[in-house]
Amino acid sequence: MHHVTEETIEPRVAAGSSHPPRVRVGIPAPAVDEPIEHPAIEVRKLSLWYGPKRALGEIDLKIAAKKITSLIGPSGCGKSTLLRSINRMNELIPRVRTEGEVIVDGVNIYDRRVDPVVVRRSIGMVFQKPNPFPKTIYENVAFGARINGYGGSMDELVERSLRQAALWDEVKDDLKKKSGLALSGGQQQRLCIARALATSPDVILMDEPCSALDPIATQRIEDLMVELAREYTIVIVTHNMQQAARVADRTAFMLAGDDLVGRLVEYGLTDQIFTSPRDSRTEAYITGRFG
């Protein structure tokens, strides 16, 4: 008896049309991921409960600085919950309880002495659906800086943020005339990115930022992410494996077991996750056998 199962699966993975396209063909995939020496974020034994229901089970994850890290997994695996734990957004939901640590800049943000309001200033977030405020474009960008007592020139900050979000040229003529809601979906999402940049964060969390956008707008946001990763640490949740393969340096695969608790299954360089996953569940997911 040979290893029948492995032999039958292997060729399908290699030749299957569901295999995600690889973008960075030039870079040879290293066989082993080098350890992350100075992680921007370190998640340690993080667990979370919605009331009596446990949603995350002891997640350990180191996120590299100025890289793009993607969280993938089927719906209900806790990837958005994990993302929202990194800037303590989950606490806005009643009866949520968190255990474990998230270390940012050497500080555990779940320390009792740390105020979530301060945490969120330095960890920006972009949401699934663009959610600009019903204010002018200018006021949308200036909002976070205003409430956080920004001391510099507001006009300059707004312009820089919009330039960084690649939106400046499209909106510079009606900054103070047009409502953020009057922009197209893709523009709204870039406005939300500009808005997050204006509070000068170190980390930007993106929760399926392209799921409400058309392919062209998606392409622009993806380009923008790669651009922004030169200066910012980016963590993105996506259900789109091609997107993870295109933009992310590292990818974490999460899965909820029969107990519905989301756990980290496999974490590594994106190329390694997509070409030679170590866990059979990761392989099953990326080849589209469930999810």
Burial of 75 per CB tally in 10 Å (0-12, 13-18, 19+): exposed
Structure tokens at 218: 């998606």
- Closer of 50 and 133 to other proteins (Cβ): 133
Q: Is residue 84 helix, strand or coil?
A: helix
Give the CB-side neighbour count of residue 199, counting CA atoms within 13 A.
25
Residues binding other proteins: number (CB under 8 A): 48
- Per CB under 8 A, does 129 bind other proteins? yes
- Cα gap 107→42, rounded to integer Å: 10
Among 115, 174, 214, 259, binds other proteins (CB under 8 A): 115
By the rule CB under 8 A, 120 interacts with other proteins? yes
| 88 to 107: interface string for other proteins, x by CB under 8 A | -x--x-x-------------
> Which one, 4 or 216, has the nearer CB to other proteins?
216
CA atoms within 13 A on the CB side of 137: 28
Q: Which stretch binds other proteins (CB under 8 A): 22-30, 193-201, 256-264, 266-274?
A: 193-201
Q: Estimate to the nearest angstrom the gap between the alpha carbon of 80 and the chain centroid.
A: 9
Q: Is 121 in the site for other proteins (CB under 8 A)?
A: yes
Does position 230 bind other proteins by CB under 8 A? yes
Select from 80, 87, 238, 287 the one that contacts other proteins (CB under 8 A): 87
Q: Which helix (H) or strand (E) holds 15?
A: helix 4-15
Name which of 123 and 265 has its Cβ closer to other proteins: 123
Identity of the residue, 199 or 218, whose beta carbon is nearer to other proteins in the bound complex = 199
**Which of 22, 18, 69, 79 lies closest to 290 in space, CA to CA?**
18
- As a whole number of angstroms, the distance between CA 255 and CA 136 comes to 41
* Token pair for 123: 């960890």
CB of 241 to other proteins, least distance (A): 25
* Residue 227 found at the interface with other proteins (CB under 8 A): yes
> Cα 26 from chain centroid?
25
Q: Is 195 in the site for other proteins (CB under 8 A)?
A: yes
Q: Residue 233: which of 99, 76, 48, 104 has the closest Cα?
A: 104
Phi, psi (deg, nearest 5) at residue 289 = -85, -15
Footprint on residues 130-169 left by other proteins (CB under 8 A): 131-135, 143-145, 147-152, 157, 160-161, 163-164, 166
Binding site for other proteins (CB under 8 A): 87, 89, 92, 94, 115, 117-122, 124-125, 127, 129, 131-135, 143-145, 147-152, 157, 160-161, 163-164, 166, 181, 192, 195-200, 224, 227-228, 230-231
